[in-house]
Each structure stands twice: as C-alpha cells, then as structure tokens.
Chain A
Amino acid sequence: MDLYEYQARELFQQHGIPVPDAETVRTAREARAAAERLGGRAVIKAQVKTGGRGKAGGVKPAADPAAAELTARQILTMDIKGHRVHQVMVARPVAIEAECYVSYALDRAAGHFLAIASAEGGMDIEEVAATRPEAVARIPVDPGQGVTADKARDIAAAAGLPPATAPVLQRLWQVLTAEDALLVEVNPLVRTDDGDILALDGKITLDDNARFRQSRWGDDTDTHDDPLEAAAAGKGIGYLRLDGEVGIIGNGAGLVMSTLDVVAGCGARPANFLDIGGGASATVMADALSLVLADPKVRSVLVNVFGGITACDAVADGIVTALDTVRLTKPLVVRLDGNNAVRGRAILAERAHPLVQQATTMDGAARQAADLANDAAAV
C-alpha cells in the first residue's frame, strides 16, 4: 500500500524526522485558513499517489492566503495521470540551501534493503542514476545489523551528504522497520538557510502482508475511483479493470496474466484481470462472474481454470449458480482442466445454457472468446 505524502510526513514526524509545518485540507476555503495560520505564504501540493505531480502543475506557491485559496481551488479539480486530487497539503515555504536524495529500497535479487543516497536531490533520481551513476551511492544494509549511528555516517559520507543528515538516515531506517515499509524515500531532504535539515517530500510503501501486526494502519485509504474495482475489493476479489472487451477470470496470478496475453495474441483486448485464487469456492466463482458481466464494455467472457488445489466442479457449480442469479447476455467460454475437470465439464454440459460453450485447451478457449468479442463488435 502506497501512502500519500501527508501520511508519510506524519510517520516521519512520529519517528523524529524534522518536516516543514503543513496542514492537509479538502477544500479551497480550508486552504486559505491553513495559509493564514502558517503565516501567509504557502506551497500548495496535490495529494496523489503518483510521481511527476510537479511537472503536471500539482505543486504551486501562493504569495498570500487569498492566492492559496485560488490555487487550491484549481489544484483540487485536477486529474494527474488518472489520479483525481481530493486533498492538498498547504506547507510553509522553506529557504533551501542544499537538496539531497535518500531512501531505503528492497534489493530483490540480493534479498536485503539498500540505502540509496545522492547529494543531487530534488530531481528525478532515476535520471541521475542513469546519466551519472557515480553520483548515487548504493549501500547494502545487513538485516541483522540495521542502520546504526556509524552506518548512517558511512552512508552520508559515501554519498557526499552533509554529516548533519546522519541522524535522519538512522531514523528513516526506524520508519522502514517499525512500520513494515518496503520503501521509504525522502526527496528532497534539504538543508535550509538556517542550517536545519528537513524532509520536504516523502514516499512510503507499506507491506500489506504485515497488516496483522500493524493495526493502527486502519483500512487502505486508497479510494477506488472505479466502482467495479471498489465492489471487487469489498468482496476480497483481486480485480483490475482494463479497457478491452474480453472479460477474463482465472486462478492464480501467473495463469491469469498468461490468459490476458494469449487473448491479446488472438487479436482481442482483455477487459480485466480477475484472479479467483487457490481453492476457490462456488460462491467466489459466482461473485467473480457477476462482477465481470457488470462491465458494459465486456462482449465475451473467458473462464480459464487449471485446477491444482482448486476443484473444477466447484468452479462449474459457481458458474451455474451465477447463471441462475445473473441474466447472461454475453457468450461465455469455459476451459476447465486439472483437478475434478471431468466432473466440472459434466456439470456445465448438463446445465446446457445456450450462451455457454466449453473449450478443451487454453489457446482454443482464448481464440473462441476473442472471436466472439470481435464478432459482437462487427454487428
């Protein structure tokens, strides 16, 4: 789960990392009041979970509270790379003397975290890493040791950061471990004219697997702008809406991704990704089918299940249940293989719904579903 900037700021603050004074608000009027409390001048920052908001015009200075209101009103109507802006941060401006970049990120291949630091902050760090790799220090952190005061000084020295940043590097490691984060990033970490070190902007990605021991996280604050994705999340189904015409349901993320690819290879576009998971029940299957059929762009549906742990007869029962409750208006292609496939196929054959057809292979099923969607488009 990615956090908003204002949530990252709160966690930094809780762990003793200095941050600029700021308030986060939902309306332009509140932005004006916040700017007044902060002394008049302010920076208005869109709260969205995507990069490049500065370039998109989502971060703007305001000279006084009236300007803050005007700017906030404008930013609160923005859509940045598909993310609607619901909140803005109103922050006290800071006189910057130097900017740097620091983060802890997972090195998957090595199986541990890396400290990544650069004296060239404030811009796209990937750009810096690509063009001037020597300007970015990448230092492994031993999982048994963590970031001690000595280690923090080593990281700062290796990247050419001011020595005064070392305590921040150590506390940032505390954020990573105590909060079960997969990524903590401060960009930029600045030194002000007064010599203070401040985390001006930050990104945190939390590990959803650690939710059981991080009770204060509460629910995912992500608002699903798509109503079907919101409905799927409510039922605990892994569903992502795409913009094609072939609805896709399968078991296991790998097989579902593969099904999307095979359908695309047949000249049709997948309408969604939907994984019913391992050992899915008839109920889950019925919910999944209702969800996919609720997408008006869907012209055909492909169910591709290889039963390992999942029993194909349960999947077939789920399809039959759904047929009784949802009026099927689009053709459905079903491919069942593996565990209890013979029984599953027999259940569907017995139901003999005119819009349901069975396929014996994955490629054949994808071809049929793609052709049905394309035929429907041609009508």
Chain B
Amino acid sequence: MAIHLTKDSKVLVQGMTGAEGMKHTRRMLAAGTDVVGGVNPRKAGRSVDFDDRTVPVFGTVREAVDTTGADVTVVFVPPQFTGAAVIEAADAGIGLAVVITEGVPVHDAVAFTAYAKARGTRIIGPNCPGLISPGQSNAGIIPADIAPQPGRIGLVSKSGTLTYQLMHELRDIGFSSAVGIGGDPVIGTSHIDCLAAFEADPDTELIVLIGEIGGDAEERAATYVSEQISKPVIAYIAGFTAPEGRTMGHAGAIVSGSTGTAQAKRAALEAAGVTVGSTPTETARLVRSLLAQ
C-alpha cells in the first residue's frame, strides 16, 4: 500500500526541463516512478528522452491531466513562479502536489495551501525532499538507493538529511513510505496528516517521527498520537543545543522563549507515550528492538 504515493501514481513534473527537473526526473524514472509528462508552456509539444523512456512536455497541467490521467505533480519551478504552478495544478484537479522548491515566500505558501485545500489537492512541502514509497514510486529528490526495498516502517520528517540518515540506518528493514514534509513555517502536509495515513496503512507497522526546533507541530503530533494512533511511534528531535532566538538555516527553525524548543517537544512526545531517541543511531536501535519483539 504505502501512503499518498503508490505504483499506480501517474506523476507529472512541473519544471521538468530545467536542470534540477531533468536530473531528478531521470532519478525518479530509475526508481520506478511512472513519470507521464512534464509541463513547460514554452516547450509544449516536444518530448524529452531519458535512458529508456520518452516523456512528453505539455503546455499546461490541464492538458497533461486530460492526456495522461496524471494525479500527482512534482514542482521544481523557481520560487517566483511556484504559487502560480501550484494553483494551476489544483485547478486541474491534481490530487497531490509535491513542492520541492526552496525559498517560497510565506505569503505565497499561505495563499496556495489554502487554495489547494479548498479544492481537495494535498500539498507536500514547500522546501521539502518529497516522498518515496520504495519499490513503487518516488516523487521528489530522496535518493531511492538509500533504502531500495519496501518494508514495514513509515517515516515522517521535517528534515531532508535526517530522513536520509534514518533511512540509511534502517535500510535492511525497509520503509512503506518516507515523507519529507519540509521545515518551512507554512507547509501543506503536517506530521499529523502522515500519522493518520500511516495508521490506516496496512503495510506500516511502526512509525518514525523526526522533528526539529521551531513551531509546535511536534507537540500537536504528540497529542494526536496519544488520542488516535495505535501503532508504535519512535521519535527523534534535533536542536537541543541550538541557541535561543537564532535561526539555524530553516525559516521554520526559530526558537523564541520556551515554546518550540527541543526539550519541550521531547517532553510532550514522552508524555504521550512516544519513545524519543537521543541520537539518530539510538533512534534506529529503538526501532529495531521494538520490531524484534
């Protein structure tokens, strides 16, 4: 099964003909993703040859959907055009838009997440690595060869590289799906959304939740786990040594006062019965011992 993305997903790439779009479309195809088209109004009607597949380029998302039946889009377009690209995808009835683009203005994210929600389009991101359902499909930039085999763990994370680290440590067990939701202040899909989907997914036995300082998404997720999740959840939080009130790379990772600190997040998760690892490796060990029981 997996969540949000399966072997049946028909994937569009908005911004496919750009350098990043080309590189990652090739990787997505190699991971088994059914990439059915690219979108670029200036290159409509052409096609792009990848290793063993020719992918057509459409002028609009609507045209691509009508022709191919695409239900997922991966957005690589630059930040100044990201809002318009997502709104176009939502208008065309796309079910899932994975927004990889980094540097999207927050006011744009507020506008397009509200717009998409009203039209039933799920957004993942922006500023995220996307999601992968190993052995089925890969929508985004998570390197599929870190953990190529499907497995029993569902993973949801704010951080890209911590996703990779944990996938690497647990590659022998494997993942049903791994979702990088992004660390921006406003994102389309939360930890809670993924927890709910993993709870409902019969292939997922255990959930790994990775968070970091800033905001209160992890605290909310903790409450949700205690009320709604029956499957075991193991968490890891980064940022215990982050200095107060200073930004560490992510727009979302801002600590001010006591709320949003790593300590507060760990306390909330532990109070909800979630085991929290103190390092990524210890987190992997906790997952292992739980699954071995």
Residues of A within 8 A of B (CB): 106, 108-109, 111-113, 126, 142-144, 177, 180, 182, 207-210, 212-213, 238, 240, 242, 250-258, 260-265, 270, 273, 275, 278, 306, 308-309, 337-339, 361-363, 366
Name the interface size band of chain B: 35 or more
A-contact 0/1 string along B243-263, CB 8 Å cutoff: 100101111110001000010
Contact in complex: A240, B243 (CB < 8 Å): yes
13 contacts between A and B (CB under 8 A): A111-B186, A126-B257, A240-B243, A252-B159, A253-B212, A256-B249, A257-B239, A258-B162, A260-B240, A270-B241, A308-B141, A308-B142, A361-B281
Which chain B positions have C-beta within 8 A of A362? 165, 279-281
Which chain B positions have C-beta within 8 A of A208? 251
Contact in complex: A309, B141 (CB < 8 Å): yes
> Cβ of B114 < 8 Å from any Cβ of A?
yes
Which chain A positions have C-beta within 8 A of B104? 209
CB distance from B217 to the nearest CB of A (A): 7
* CB < 8 Å neighbour of B111 from A143, A238, A308: A143
Given contacts A338-B168, A363-B281, contact A308 B253 (CB under 8 A): no
Most buried by A among B159, B161, B217, B278: B161
Q: Specify the chain A residue showing the minimal Cβ separation from B103.
A: A209
A-contact 0/1 string along B158-177, CB 8 Å cutoff: 11111011001000000000
* CB < 8 Å neighbour of A254 from B105, B107, B212, B215: B212
Q: Specify the chain B residue showing the minimal Cβ separation from A278.
A: B160
Contact in complex: A255, B162 (CB < 8 Å): yes
* CB < 8 Å neighbour of B220 from A109, A212, A238, A256: A109
Contact in complex: B185, A182 (CB < 8 Å): yes
Which chain A positions have C-beta within 8 A of B22? none
> Cβ of B183 < 8 Å from any Cβ of A?
yes
Bound form: Cα–Cα A210–B110 in Å: 13
Which chain B positions have C-beta within 8 A of A252? 159-162, 249
Contact in complex: B110, A306 (CB < 8 Å): no
Bound form: Cα–Cα A362–B107 in Å: 37
Contact in complex: A240, B250 (CB < 8 Å): no
Bound form: Cα–Cα A258–B107 in Å: 29
Contact in complex: B143, A256 (CB < 8 Å): no
> Cβ of B242 < 8 Å from any Cβ of A?
yes
Bound form: Cα–Cα A210–B249 in Å: 16
Which chain B positions have C-beta within 8 A of A182? 106, 185
Which chain B positions have C-beta within 8 A of A210? 105-107
Bound form: Cα–Cα A252–B114 in Å: 28
* CB < 8 Å neighbour of A306 from B79, B113, B168: B168
Bound form: Cα–Cα A283–B58 in Å: 38
Given contacts A210-B105, A212-B79, contact A112 B114 (CB under 8 A): yes
Chain A interface, >50% SS class: mixed
Bound form: Cα–Cα A265–B262 in Å: 14
Bound form: Cα–Cα A349–B240 in Å: 33
Which chain A positions have C-beta within 8 A of B88? none
* CB < 8 Å neighbour of A338 from B107, B146, B243: B146
* CB < 8 Å neighbour of B240 from A238, A261, A306, A361: A261
* CB < 8 Å neighbour of A111 from B110, B210, B213: B110
Which chain B positions have C-beta within 8 A of A242? 241, 243
Bound form: Cα–Cα A265–B141 in Å: 31
Nearest first, the 6 closest Cβ-Cβ pairs linking A and B are: A254-B159, A252-B161, A253-B249, A255-B161, A210-B105, A258-B238
CB distance from B106 to the nearest CB of A (A): 5
Residues of B within 8 A of A (CB): 79-80, 103-107, 109-111, 113-115, 129, 141-143, 146, 157-162, 164-165, 168, 183, 185-187, 190, 210, 212-213, 215-217, 220, 236, 238-243, 246, 248-253, 257, 262, 278-282
Which chain A positions have C-beta within 8 A of B241? 242, 257, 260-261, 263-264, 270
CB distance from A296 to the nearest CB of B (A): 20
CB distance from B280 to the nearest CB of A (A): 6
Contact in complex: A256, B146 (CB < 8 Å): no
Bound form: Cα–Cα A252–B239 in Å: 13
Bound form: Cα–Cα A360–B158 in Å: 25
Contact in complex: A261, B238 (CB < 8 Å): yes
Bound form: Cα–Cα A28–B196 in Å: 61
* CB < 8 Å neighbour of B107 from A180, A253, A273: A180
Contact in complex: A338, B162 (CB < 8 Å): no
Bound form: Cα–Cα A336–B248 in Å: 22
Bound form: Cα–Cα A246–B161 in Å: 21
Contact in complex: B186, A260 (CB < 8 Å): no
Contact in complex: B279, A262 (CB < 8 Å): yes
CB distance from B166 to the nearest CB of A (A): 10
Bound form: Cα–Cα A256–B247 in Å: 13
Which chain A positions have C-beta within 8 A of B183? 253-254
Bound form: Cα–Cα A142–B238 in Å: 33
Most buried by B among A112, A177, A209, A265: A209
Bound form: Cα–Cα A272–B236 in Å: 22
Contact in complex: B107, A306 (CB < 8 Å): no
* CB < 8 Å neighbour of B253 from A251, A253, A264, A270: A253
CB distance from A160 to the nearest CB of B (A): 26
Contact in complex: B105, A338 (CB < 8 Å): no
Q: Specify the chain A residue showing the minimal Cβ separation from B216.
A: A109
Which chain A positions have C-beta within 8 A of B210? 254
Bound form: Cα–Cα A366–B278 in Å: 13
CB distance from A150 to the nearest CB of B (A): 20
Given contacts A143-B110, A261-B238, contact A254 B162 (CB under 8 A): yes
Given contacts A255-B165, A338-B168, A339-B143, contact A108 B185 (CB under 8 A): yes
Most buried by B among A142, A254, A278, A338: A254
Most buried by B among A144, A253, A363: A253
Contact in complex: A308, B242 (CB < 8 Å): no
CB distance from B235 to the nearest CB of A (A): 13
CB distance from B8 to the nearest CB of A (A): 26
* CB < 8 Å neighbour of A309 from B143, B162, B250, B278: B143
Contact in complex: B107, A207 (CB < 8 Å): yes
